[in-house]
Chain A
């Protein structure tokens, strides 16, 4: 199994803070519009379906399936260059949204489209991010 790597720290704004804080609690948080019911990812201050500002967060199951993936074998940028080969993927969540992520916890050659996966969080030190800092994590997925 290739070495895991420390994900770069996600930059957060007040619009996306709830997502990263949710990850810090090891909860995958999505948005739903209180007015039209639309579920959206990535998080933002308005509903991109009806422009309502009444957007709430809910905790997703963290289960999904691989939509597509690639085994990255060349990347000159740290920390990724020290973690080759690693798997970049899109995962379809049970709740609908499709999100970009990494598949970890298995040999890259074992990943396949349609594979069932579950969320796996890596805590990141965000203590330098002021009030928002201290409890972020990056969501990745591993075979279910």
Chain B
């Protein structure tokens, strides 16, 4: 049996917290694990594969996490390719389960980025002792700045306008207003985005994701086993991963890793773009969504500005993106990829209440890790109903 169509997401949990000065990263992971296992009716003793990454986990990270949870998994994966890691973990878990190396995989993330006052967008970097980083470090590239380089190039080549990027923020906030757990729920207008202060031209404050605390968990197992569990299985139909980097000095900043990972995922799933009912896309910044949609092939290069306009990516539009409010408004505890998988799963189960995409039967999740103006990873999942 092929991997596509034989592996399922059985349980998910998005930690409710957005501000947790009283919690640790491991605690948030464990509480998220409790939620996801309860969601599917499994126990910690069923877990035999552990997949995790975080802002602070380094070597031995998944070993320490195993000790914290007091489990002895037979498969460990601490892949850390940035915020996309957890989408990749689902891919890796599927491969491991398909190969018979584990049966119940637990994917975890937790972070106290906000209560630790991590200035992820404009307060990190600036040098260091890495010779390979010395070609960026001396120049003061912020996270926002890296994405801004892509936005500026896109505007120059295609005439994309700030108003079009702002439509993405407006749609995410509209979605968050329907999500009781979202951090930022007060609706905003295009003018609000354009009038917010410029952080790194052409990206304004409201073109940038928020910073929160939080975490989440995903349980992956075989479709066969998932059918016996508490919730309707969400089936993995296609997946792909990719990197994009400096290419010995010839990076095309408008070609994202999403192009390669998306092509692979669509090819594996054997579905077309028209079949996709909604997307969850890492929205670190508005430009991330626009450029990712182009690279995934939902529109041609340069058409992203028009594509995201007129409410097309809002609930009720032709292709709703991030019905939970995304990183721009719901939550963004540093590495957001796990929430892309969680929201896609909840949408496909039809359990999203006011923010439910009507008739959702096929969804695409795409995570970006790193920064698209320098080097980054991409991981894509295409998910469907059983």
Residues of A within 8 A of B (CB): 5, 7-13, 15-16, 20, 38-42, 48-49, 67-78, 80, 83, 86, 88-90, 96-102, 113, 138, 140
Contacts and interface: CB of A to CB of B under 8 A. Distances in A.
A12 B134 contact: yes
Contacts of A113: 152-153, 156
**Closest 8 pairs between A and B when the two form their complex, measured CB to CB:** A97-B249, A8-B127, A41-B249, A70-B148, A10-B134, A80-B140, A13-B131, A40-B248
B127 A9 contact: yes
B66 interface: no
A77 to B, nearest CB: 4
Contacts, number: 136
B246 to A, nearest CB: 7
A83 B132 CA distance: 24
A49 B140 contact: no
B275 to A, nearest CB: 35
Interface in B232-254: 246, 248-251, 253
Given A42-B249, A100-B139, A100-B141, A68 B134 contact: no
A7 to B, nearest CB: 4
Contact of B124 (A39, A77, A90): A77
Contact of A99 (B129, B197, B249): B249
A101 B149 CA distance: 12
Interface stretch (B15-23, B27-35, B198-206, B359-367): B198-206
25 contacts: A5-B140, A9-B138, A11-B127, A11-B129, A11-B130, A13-B131, A15-B131, A16-B132, A41-B248, A41-B249, A48-B248, A68-B149, A68-B253, A69-B152, A72-B200, A73-B199, A74-B122, A77-B124, A77-B126, A77-B140, A86-B140, A88-B139, A88-B148, A88-B200, A100-B139
B144 interface: yes
Q: Select the residue from A5, A9, A75 with max chain B CB neighbours within 10 A.
A: A75
A68 B156 contact: yes
Given A11-B133, A70-B151, A73-B197, 8 more contacts: A39-B248, A39-B249, A42-B248, A48-B248, A90-B149, A90-B251, A98-B249, A113-B152
Contacts of B130: 11
Contacts of A90: 149, 251, 253
B122 A68 contact: no
Contacts of B126: 8, 75, 77-78, 80
A20 B131 CA distance: 11
Interface in B324-374: 374
A11 B198 contact: no
Interface in B86-127: 119, 122-127
A67 B246 CA distance: 14
Contact of A98 (B122, B156, B200, B250): B250
A38 B124 CA distance: 34
A48 B174 CA distance: 47
Given A12-B131, A88-B149, A138 B138 contact: yes
Contact of B123 (A11, A38, A68, A75): A75
A42 B153 contact: no
Nearest to A49: B248
Contacts of A77: 123-126, 140
B78 interface: no
A8 B370 CA distance: 22
A56 B244 CA distance: 26
B149 A97 contact: no
B209 interface: no
A97 B250 CA distance: 6
B204 to A, nearest CB: 10
A5 B138 CA distance: 10
Nearest to A88: B145
B137 interface: yes
A76 B119 contact: yes
Nearest to B132: A42
B319 interface: no
A69 to B, nearest CB: 6
Given A11-B133, A76-B122, A96 B145 contact: no
Contacts of B141: 88, 100
A120 B150 CA distance: 24
B122 A75 contact: yes
Contacts of A48: 248
B249 A75 contact: no
B139 A102 contact: yes
B248 A11 contact: no
Nearest to A108: B201
Nearest to B374: A100
